[in-house]
Amino acid sequence: MRTYDEVVGFDYTNAEEWRSFVKNQILPLHKSISKIVKLRKSLEELLSNNISDLIRNNTNIKQILLGGVDENGDYKPNSLARMYMEFLGVSINTKEWVSLSKQPGIDAAEYIKCKFADSSFLQFVKEIREIIDRLLSLAEISEEEVKDDEIRDMLENPEKNCE
């Protein structure tokens, strides 16, 4: 008869196996979560001040805020803007956008402000990251830094990151 350790293939009494598990399984999760948190922070920095120029001139930002919004300002199924709102807490008032856009001589981008909320998903990933940070510290493993280029790529390809 085989023991549990033989069946699972993991010696849970061996610190080095735990360290290896944390490095190979938990560290990649930490990096993914860190990307999400850094993306949200980057969006907040980017959209807090000069949102009007970004909406006018940056189709990717416009997709993040308005992708999948219908002519009434409602989110369509699988709306990219809804995903960013629900998961990252980044949104604009889409109904206000549509209403302003329909008025002649008004540039809706001049009147729109971006809202930032702590969504339940964002709170959840931040809590998970705190737990993982403690695990990495206990295992004496350095976290992998999220590079600015990775965030820039996510901002330049907002739909790609949803796959």
Q: What pLDDT score does 163 carry?
A: 45
Q: What pLDDT score does 80 carry?
A: 95
Distance, in Å, from the CA atom of 133 to the CA atom of 30, rounded to the nearest integer, reads 8
The model's pLDDT over 10-21, given as tens digits with 9 standing for 90+, comes to 788 889 988 999
Task: Read off the pTM.
Answer: 0.86
Q: What pLDDT score does 11 carry?
A: 82
Q: What pLDDT score does 2 carry?
A: 65
Grouped pLDDT means (10 residues each) for the chain, 163 residues: 66 88 94 95 92 91 95 94 96 95 92 94 96 95 93 87 51
Count the Cβ atoms, other than its own, within 10 Å of residue 99: 15
Distance, in Å, from the CA atom of 131 to the CA atom of 137, rounded to the nearest integer, reads 10
- Helix, strand, coil percent content, the chain, rounded in steps of 5: 65, 5, 35
CA 11 to chain centre: 35
Q: Is residue 95 within 8 Å of 82, Cβ to Cβ?
A: no
What is the 3 state secondary structure string of 6-56?
HHHCCCCCCHHHHHHHHHHHHHHHHHHHHHHHHHHHHHHHHHCCCHHHHHH
